């Protein structure tokens, strides 16, 4: 898997977190930088652990078989996972849950735990896809850590400045990036198999 495919998937996943942070940013009168730093660290660490766990579990499953047929099936599973994750983002964009926009003096940490848990589940699933594709875990963790740190902060400030109305665009862009990565993997498989 190329670093471009990895980057597309990582940014596609991170845009889900961006949209969630955008909603939180729309609730505050002022962004508390210390609080945002702690929330960013919480989210980044949780997502990195989820990705690492998914990757580790998938490598355990595929470690016992080196047959090219099994590797091909692993690639197909990874493509299905990417397409399912992109469909989930499209559904979120269509449903477009409204946020009860009201002023919060302090966001606290409790409200970020369910969001981190939910997005962590999908990051865990993406970790399975990366493991099936045989990607380098260190490169993934660095990319995801940087992308999440940037997009968590950007989402909070974007929501603070502009509200939560552009979260649909974030979901759609994330879905498109995941679809492009999945299509690229399909093309590489077709060329590699001589289809």
Question: What angle is formed at CA 100 by the lines to CA 94 and CA 106, rounded to 5 degrees?
Answer: 125
Question: Helix-strand-coil percent breakdown of the chain, rounded to 5?
Answer: 80, 0, 20
pLDDT value, residue 65:
61
- DSSP, collapsed to helix, strand or coil, labels residue 49 as helix
Query: At 16, which helix (H) or strand (E)?
Result: helix 3-25
What mean pLDDT comes out for the span 86-110? 80
Domain total in the chain: 1
Given a cut of 80, whether residue 177 has pLDDT beyond it is yes
Q: pLDDT at position 66, please?
A: 60
pLDDT (mean) for 12-20: 94
Mean pLDDT of 148-158: 95
Share of the chain above pLDDT 90, in %: 59
Q: How many CB atoms are closer than 10 A to CB 29?
A: 8
Greatest Cα pair distance, the chain, in angstroms, is: 60
The per-residue pLDDT for range 112-139, each reduced to its tens digit, is 888 889 999 999 999 999 998 888 999 9
Choice between 89 and 71, residue whose per-residue pLDDT is larger: 89
pLDDT at position 74 is: 84
Above 80 in pLDDT, residue 193?
no
pLDDT of residue 23: 86
The pLDDT of residue 67? 64
Q: Check pLDDT > 70 for residue 106.
A: no
Indicate the Cα dihedral angle 113, 115, 119, 120, nearest 10°: 0
pLDDT recorded at residue 75 = 87
What is the residue range of 170's domain? Answer: 3-193
pLDDT, averaged across the chain: 88
Residue 99 is predicted with a pLDDT of: 65
pLDDT at 103: 64
Phi-psi region of 65 (alpha: psi -120 to 50; beta: other; left: phi over 0): beta
Question: Is the Cβ–Cβ distance between 139 and 55 less than 8 Å?
Answer: no
């Amino acid at each position: 898997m190329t670093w471009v495919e990895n980057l597309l998937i990582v940014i596609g996943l991170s845009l889900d977190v961006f949209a969630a942070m955008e909603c939180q940013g729309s609730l505050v009168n002022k962004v508390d930088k210390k609080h945002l730093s702690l929330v960013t660290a919480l989210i980044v660490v949780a997502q990195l652990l989820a990705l690492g766990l998914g990757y580790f579990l998938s490598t355990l499953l595929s470690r016992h078989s080196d047959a090219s047929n099994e590797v091909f099936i692993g690639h197909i599973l990874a493509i299905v996972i990417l397409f399912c994750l992109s469909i989930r983002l499209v559904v979120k964009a269509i449903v477009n849950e409204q946020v009860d926009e009201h002023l919060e003096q302090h966001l606290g940490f409790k409200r970020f735990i369910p969001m981190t848990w939910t997005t962590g589940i999908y990051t865990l699933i993406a970790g399975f896809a990366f493991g099936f594709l045989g990607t380098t875990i260190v490169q993934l963790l660095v990319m995801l850590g940087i992308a999440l740190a940037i997009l968590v902060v950007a989402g909070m400030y974007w929501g603070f400045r502009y509200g939560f109305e552009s979260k649909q665009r974030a979901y759609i862009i994330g879905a498109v990036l995941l679809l492009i990565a999945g299509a690229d993997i399909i093309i590489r498989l077709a060329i590699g198999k001589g289809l």
